[in-house]
Structure formats: structure tokens, C-alpha cells
Amino acid sequence: MSAYMPASEVLLRHEEEFEHRHIIFAGDLQDMLPAQLTTASTRVFTQQFHHWQALSQQLGERAQFGLYATAEHLAGCDTLVYYWPKNKPEAAFQLANLLALLPVGSDLFVVGENRSGVRSAENVIEQFSSLEKIDSARRCGLYHGRLDQQATFNIESYYDAYQLEKLTIKTLPGVFSRDGLDNGSALLLSTLTPHTKGKVLDLGCGAGVLAASLKQHSPKVRLWLTDVNAAAVAASQATLAINDIEGEVFASNVFSEVQGRFDMILSNPPFHEGLQTSLDAAQALIRGAANHLNSGGELRIVANAFLPYPQVLEETFGHYEILAQTGKFRVYRSVWGRTKRS
């Protein structure tokens, strides 16, 4: 079985094309090909903290994580290899940033699975470059063009907002539930009661909806928020700021950067890695929560009802309870230190 995703396998069909290029890799980087492909020089930019963690082990400072790429990091690059994500607004945001920094005449390669919507790449950047499809394999498309005109990029123009009762929720492209409160988070919020106290960790915070809503009716809680996505970290920071809420927001791969213990851990955990179904992050969250909860502290998560989290909750905590459910979602609660099912 290949160690590479289908999009990377398509790039490998053209590996001689890249040998003498100074490349910036960006987009949905889910494997180690950028660190292993032979090039004149390689740099990587990603908004995903866990992708940066893996790639920086081999590339060091040549791998950059953040909300947006910088001119300093792209200096000397003459080629962009962009892995198309499943979220079109996210792709448009990232490409505007990158195409504002690369010099006119740079070569552009866009690759992605057909089901991700990579075909729309031609329209997304048509004002900056004319892309041509140069390969089709593994249900992927590979497109090539040259940068004819630099893009303009203003990060402030990409922030959006929606109202949730008295709260203003700030969002960015690529952030979960960017256009409004999702049904799963709404169900989880319905189970939170006023006068909650103590230290609360919102893990996989997205736009900061869970933490901000909790603080609204439980002002004595102290908040920590974390996500792997730099856009989510920035959106949560903006949400807390506009609502005058104090809290620490930082990037982390599940618990990789989390220190200390909490009285409550809240999460609406993802079950996809790009286009692929993956329960790894959610299972790591459940198992790792035991090391980050005070005695009597609780883990409260919402998940699609069909996902096999009860087994992991039972194995880790020895019990769980279902606080609320619909035809699609369930809210689970487990308390650290309790040994039998409620």
C-alpha cells in the first residue's frame, strides 16, 4: 500500500519536472512527499498544525505554520505546488495569499482528487493564471499554469461574522461551521447549565462558539481553546475579543501542546482528515482526556450517533452517559474518577 495520497502519486508521475525547481508546497498536505521529492529547494506552508509537526521534523524552518504565508518564507521560490482542499473558500483564501507573494512568471501546479472539487481551480484563479489540465489519474486532476498577474491579499477582508443570541461569532474560510451554528454544537450547547465553574478546555474550538457560549451564562469559568487549524485559532481569538471574553487560544494537535488539568473538556471532534474518514483525532481526544482532567472533571462531546465512541469512552473512563440525542447526534458525558456507568 502506498505511503502517499492519490494526489501525491499523480505528482510522482512527473517527478523529473520538479528536480530543478524552487518549490513552495501548500494546501491540503497529508503526507510526506513535499519533504521527500527531489527539488532544487523545498519550502512548505500549511495552516494545519499536525501537518506542520510532521513535515518540520524533516524540513525544519523550511516548513511554516500560520494563518497566512509571508514574503520572507516564499523568497526565492519560483514554483507553487498546491494540494486542493475540499473547501473551496479555503482554497481561494490560501491561493490569494500565495499568489500575492510569488513573482509574475512563477509556475503553478494544482493537484487534487476530483471529488474535492479540484476542477474549480481553473475558475478560482482565472484572473491570475490560465490553468491547463496536464494529467488525470487515481481519480485526481493535475493542472499547470504560469502566474500572469499577482493577486492582492488583505486578511481582514476574509473575516465574516454571524450572531448567536447576544454573541458575535467571527469566522474565516476553512473554519468548521463558518456560516452558522451547526446542529451538533447546538445540541451540545443545550446540555450546558449556568453557573459552571473551573477550568474549561474547548478542544477543536473552531470559531470559539462552545467556549464563548459557556462563558456567557457561566462567567466564572476560565477558558482555554485549541485547534489544529490556524484559521480556527485566529477566528476564536477574534470571537473572544469582539465579545470581550478572556481566554487563551493556541494551536495544538489534540493534546500535543496542552498543559495541566481541567474541570471540563468540551469538543465537537472531527471525524474526517481531508476527504478521508478518520476517527484518530477523536479517539486520541477521549483517551488523552484522562491525563488532562482533574478528579471529578468531565469530558463532554457531541458526535454523530453512528460513530463508535461509546466503546472508547467505556474503555477509558469505565462509564459514559448520553445527555441528549437526536436522530443524528448524541452528546456523551464521562467523569474522570467515576468507575461505574451512570
Where are the domains positioned within the chain? 6-155, 159-336
Q: What is the pLDDT of residue 342?
A: 40
Residue showing cell 491540503: 28
CA distance 325 to 75: 52
Superfamily of domain 159-336: Vaccinia Virus protein VP39 (3.40.50.150)
CA distance 167 to 304: 26
Rounded to two decimals, the pTM is 0.94
Using alpha carbons, list the distances in angstroms from residue 86 to 112, 117, 270, 335: 9, 7, 14, 36
Residues 6+ apart with CB under 8 A from 59: 34, 35, 42, 43, 44
Mean pLDDT by 10 residues, the chain (342 residues): 86 96 96 97 97 96 98 97 95 98 98 94 95 96 97 96 94 87 92 91 95 93 97 98 98 96 93 55 90 96 88 93 94 83 42
Of 302, 312, 308, 311, residue with least CA distance to 333? 302
Q: What is the pLDDT of residue 340?
A: 47
- For the segment 159-184, what is each residue's pLDDT rounded down to a tens digit? 999 999 999 999 999 998 777 888 99
Q: What is the pLDDT of residue 337?
A: 86
Q: What is the pLDDT of residue 278?
A: 54
CA distance 186 to 331: 10
Of 253, 246, 178, residue with least CA distance to 209? 178
- Answer whether 6-155 and 159-336 agree in fold: yes
Second-level CATH architecture of 6-155: 3-Layer(aba) Sandwich (3.40)
Residues 6+ apart with CB under 8 A from 126: none
Q: What is the pLDDT of residue 2?
A: 63
Percent of the chain with pLDDT over 90: 86
Sign of CA dihedral 204, 299, 301, 193: negative
Q: What is the pLDDT of residue 200?
A: 97
Q: What is the pLDDT of residue 273?
A: 52
CA distance 290 to 132: 51
Long-range contact list for 58-63, CB < 8 A, 24+ apart?
Answer: 58/32, 59/34, 59/35, 63/35
CB 305 within 8 A of CB 325: yes
- For the segment 1-30, what is each residue's pLDDT rounded down to a tens digit? 468 999 999 999 999 999 999 999 999 999
CA distance 233 to 208: 8
